[in-house]
Chain A
Amino acid sequence: MSEARDIPGLDELTAALADRRARSVAMGGTERIAQQHARHKLTARERIHLLFDADTFVEFGVLAHQHSMTGAVTEPERTPADGVITGEGLIDGRRVYCAAYDFTVMAGSMGMIGEQKVARLRRKAMLNRLPMIWLLDSAGARIQEAAGSTFAGSGALFFEQVQMSGVVPQVAAMLGPCAAGTAYIPGLADFVPMVKDTSSMSLGGARLVKAATGEETTDHDMGGSQVHCYVSGVGDLEVDDDPACITAVRDYLSYLPSNNREAAPRRQTSDRRDRRIDDLEKIVPTNPRAAYDMRKVVKRLADDGQVFEVKPTFARNIITALVHFNGQSAGIVASQPMIKGGALDIDAADKAARFVWLCDAFNVPLVFLQDVPGFIVGTEVEKQGIIRHGAKMLYAVSEATVPKVTVVLRKAYGAGYYVMCGRGYEPDTLVAWPTAEVSVMGPEGAVDIIFTKQIAAADDPAAARAEYAAAIRQTIDPFIAASWAMIDDIIDPADTRRVIIDALEGAETKRQRRAWRKHGVPPV
């Protein structure tokens, strides 16, 4: 018979467990949580609650806390979950992994244990081929644990993100600061929504910038959404607050499969596949020099008028948007004549190339709506490298093997016609409206090149020039392209939605394999 000892019963043990768990779930305590709310931010656990379908979140590592190999004093009581909540759950019934940095615990700084937890999530995301979401609200690396040359062993997180790229969707939601090297997390993610005013990202935080270069700035001035969603293009969508950000993450994922081996999702719609759009002619002027808002066209074509624009405030001369056509998710790349006449520049080429790569990686078909006067020309854009940026867009569109449908609404000039998936770029269907103008360049540009001598020799050069230009204009006619069967059809604009849906359905079984190569050498 055993000696009587003070062995706790299971009731006592589970009570102790519940107590530890409760302390961890309480995050940085009521005071810090109040501060978080005062900054108009939700806590990491409130964000997780909004992100996942009810009662589906399963947490890993809730009982973890700070440790240090360097002998630094650690504070287990003050570092619940070591400042990052990690786990899995369902979004619209589909499983995803999520790491939510907890700003109430040491400013969400990235400590050794917390990063081991996130590394485990990345591995699970790859093993199970499921999306990875970061909810970022973090001061960056926890310097007191990391300073010094043990840095030599760090950095694998970005290497792993690169391996995940194009295999599983990656979303980095910016809900607070994300300073220093950790800004490469959004830098490598596919989709980066940013909360206005409260979020920021920069390779060096304001204090580091001051120390390194002497420049005076703030994290917000340097890396807020007003910079990244409008100027730099690192951010994909500016949102007003935390709930709007979480909604954007859920919406974005609804257009994508869970990994690159799955088909893009379909959903039910009551929008008729053959719905005619009779007011398009009121939106799109037949005068080719007049501008209009292409977003109105996109909205009318998409199922139920629902459009999820990516980078709506960056490079607005091109529109990139996720939509559904008869229930099938699809990506739209559309010229925007309202901004810069719809002409392409370096930012527009970057924006479109990235979007095409995203859609192609995840089996999302592409629809191109062309009204493009070409690439902007001149000394300024050459200094900016318009050739390599334009080449990048050509590259992305050429590489894409998903179903591709092209509609020429009006202008399709020069390389603009190529990069927007002209005939040479393997569109499964290419149609034009009767208003289409496909040509290497406009009559005004062509006339001075083709008829220089004749115009110079004429008695009335201005009249001669006008006459030659009129003659060239006669040759810019979609029926000529159709008569050579270079375009598949000329359609009634009102039927555009049905034509796109027919084309996408016709290409559903498309299988295209390119020649083997390790990888191409894409222009950047």
Chain B
Amino acid sequence: MTEVKAELVGNLWKIVVEVGQAVEEDDTLMILESMKMEIPITTPTSGTVQQILVAEGEVVQEGQTVAVID
């Protein structure tokens, strides 16, 4: 089980995967809007999306777990 964490604070703009979806290492799970940039949050491992712990429009903190991959 891998917790995917946000690298910096920002607005969660878009979630591009769903719970249950299979993902490959480095796939984009969601996109943060921060520092005038669209910053992808990618998965460090391949697996299945077990949980999505945030919603679009929410402010995400640095180090916050946003998804769980297994």
A residues near B (Cβ < 8 Å) are: 288-291, 337, 339-343, 345, 373-374, 376, 378, 380, 411, 413, 442, 444-445
Residue of B nearest to A445 (CB): B36
Check B8 against A376 for contact (C-beta < 8 Å). yes
**Residue in contact with B40 in the complex, picked from A291, A378, A413, CB distance below 8 Å:** A291
**Residue in contact with B37 in the complex, picked from A342, A345, A380, A445, CB distance below 8 Å:** A342
Check A374 against B61 for contact (C-beta < 8 Å). no
Residue of B nearest to A344 (CB): B35
- Knowing that A339-B7, A343-B37, A380-B61 are A-B contacts, what are 10 other residue pairs whose CB atoms are under 8 Å apart, sorted by A's residue number? A289-B38, A290-B38, A291-B38, A340-B35, A341-B35, A343-B35, A376-B8, A376-B35, A378-B9, A442-B36
Closest chain B CB from A97 CB (angstroms): 42
Check B36 against A288 for contact (C-beta < 8 Å). yes
Residues in B29-59 with C-beta less than 8 Å from chain A? 34-40
- Residues in chain B near residue A341, CB distance under 8 A: 8, 34-39
Residue of B nearest to A411 (CB): B36
Report the Cα distance A340→B36, complex, angstroms.
Answer: 11
B residues near A (Cβ < 8 Å) are: 7-9, 34-40, 61-62
4 smallest CB-CB distances across A and B, nearest first, come from: A341-B37, A373-B35, A343-B35, A373-B36
- Residues in chain A near residue B61, CB distance under 8 A: 380
- Residues in chain A near residue B8, CB distance under 8 A: 340-341, 343, 345, 376
Majority SS of interface residues in chain B? loop
- Residues in chain B near residue A288, CB distance under 8 A: 36
Check A374 against B35 for contact (C-beta < 8 Å). yes
Check A444 against B38 for contact (C-beta < 8 Å). no
Check A380 against B62 for contact (C-beta < 8 Å). yes
Residue of A nearest to B10 (CB): A341
- Residues in chain A near residue B35, CB distance under 8 A: 340-341, 343, 373-374, 376
Residue pairs across A and B with Cβ atoms less than 8 A apart, 27 shown, are: A288-B36, A289-B36, A289-B37, A289-B38, A291-B37, A291-B39, A291-B40, A340-B7, A340-B39, A341-B8, A341-B36, A341-B38, A342-B37, A343-B34, A343-B35, A343-B37, A345-B8, A373-B36, A374-B35, A374-B36, A376-B8, A376-B9, A376-B35, A378-B9, A380-B9, A380-B61, A445-B36
Report the Cα distance A339→B6, complex, angstroms.
Answer: 11
Report the Cα distance A289→B62, complex, angstroms.
Answer: 20
Report the Cα distance A289→B36, complex, angstroms.
Answer: 6
**Residue in contact with A444 in the complex, picked from B7, B9, B36, B40, CB distance below 8 Å:** B36
- Residues in chain B near residue A411, CB distance under 8 A: 36
- Residues in chain B near residue A378, CB distance under 8 A: 9
Report the Cα distance A445→B37, complex, angstroms.
Answer: 13
Closest chain A CB from B35 CB (angstroms): 4
Report the Cα distance A376→B35, complex, angstroms.
Answer: 7
Residue of A nearest to B33 (CB): A289
Report the Cα distance A141→B20, complex, angstroms.
Answer: 55
* Most chain B C-beta atoms within 10 Å of own C-beta, residue among A343, A444, A445: A343
Report the Cα distance A442→B34, complex, angstroms.
Answer: 12
Closest chain A CB from B8 CB (angstroms): 5
Closest chain B CB from A462 CB (angstroms): 15
Report the Cα distance A4→B64, complex, angstroms.
Answer: 90
- Residues in chain B near residue A337, CB distance under 8 A: 37
Report the Cα distance A177→B1, complex, angstroms.
Answer: 32
Closest chain B CB from A341 CB (angstroms): 3
- Residues in chain B near residue A290, CB distance under 8 A: 38
Report the Cα distance A413→B36, complex, angstroms.
Answer: 10
- Residues in chain B near residue A345, CB distance under 8 A: 8
* Most chain B C-beta atoms within 10 Å of own C-beta, residue among A341, A343, A445: A341
Report the Cα distance A86→B37, complex, angstroms.
Answer: 52
- Residues in chain B near residue A376, CB distance under 8 A: 8-9, 35
Report the Cα distance A166→B61, complex, angstroms.
Answer: 40
Closest chain A CB from B58 CB (angstroms): 16
Closest chain A CB from B15 CB (angstroms): 17
* Most chain B C-beta atoms within 10 Å of own C-beta, residue among A288, A337, A340, A442: A340
Report the Cα distance A9→B36, complex, angstroms.
Answer: 84
- Residues in chain B near residue A374, CB distance under 8 A: 35-36
- Residues in chain A near residue B34, CB distance under 8 A: 341, 343
* Most chain A C-beta atoms within 10 Å of own C-beta, residue among B9, B35, B37: B35
Residue of A nearest to B63 (CB): A380
Report the Cα distance A341→B9, complex, angstroms.
Answer: 12
Report the Cα distance A75→B61, complex, angstroms.
Answer: 59
- Residues in chain B near residue A340, CB distance under 8 A: 7-8, 35, 39
